[in-house]
Amino acid sequence: TIVAILILYIASRLINLDAWPIFSDEGIYIRWAKVAWQDASWRFISVTDGRQPLQTWGTIPFLKLLPHNALFAGRLFSVTTGLVALTGIYSFLFYLWGKRAAVIGAILYVFLPYTLFYDRMALVDSAVNAGFIWILFFSVWLARERRLDTALVLGFIGGFSLLAKSSSRMFLMLSIFAPIM
């Protein structure tokens, strides 16, 4: 079933990935990634506009793989972070309620219009979504089992999420309510 979910995810995200017209913010992010790729001194180019650099940095490897199709390369970063979110949903639901709930949740994630849309756009929202899911998972895990390694991983995920968007602080602050859950 996991393989079938992965095939559904990949098919729903990659088929006609560059068929949609480019959105204005997508063009900005892809241009920043191209500039940062060509000149290492501009790796923080997004900060000049008040944006965090994760989208720019994450797009560069895909531009190296597909230099002649920048739109497809830029959108592949969101497909990848969507896959991270899908594994987070599966892991979190498996941890809480078992395999059946994890499979149902993963299938819902694949077909949810919000995730279907943002996992196919070269925007940072898919990475923010993945960060939120993993922050939630590790917050609940840390509340159940107080361990240093879990706390360190939660801190790493929180820092990584802050590289995507500063509004991720909200998710980190909500993690104080994990013991209630």
Residue 99: partners with Cβ closer than 8 Å, 6 or more residues away: none
pLDDT along the chain (181 residues), means of 10: 96 94 92 96 94 96 96 97 98 97 98 95 95 96 94 96 94 87 71
Query: Cα(57)–Cα(18) distance, rounded to whole angstroms?
Result: 20
Give pTM, 2 decimals. Answer: 0.94
Task: Read off the pLDDT of residues 31-82 as tens digits, 9 standing for 90 and up.
Answer: 999 999 999 999 999 999 999 999 999 999 999 999 999 999 999 999 999 9
DSSP class of residue 21 equals: P
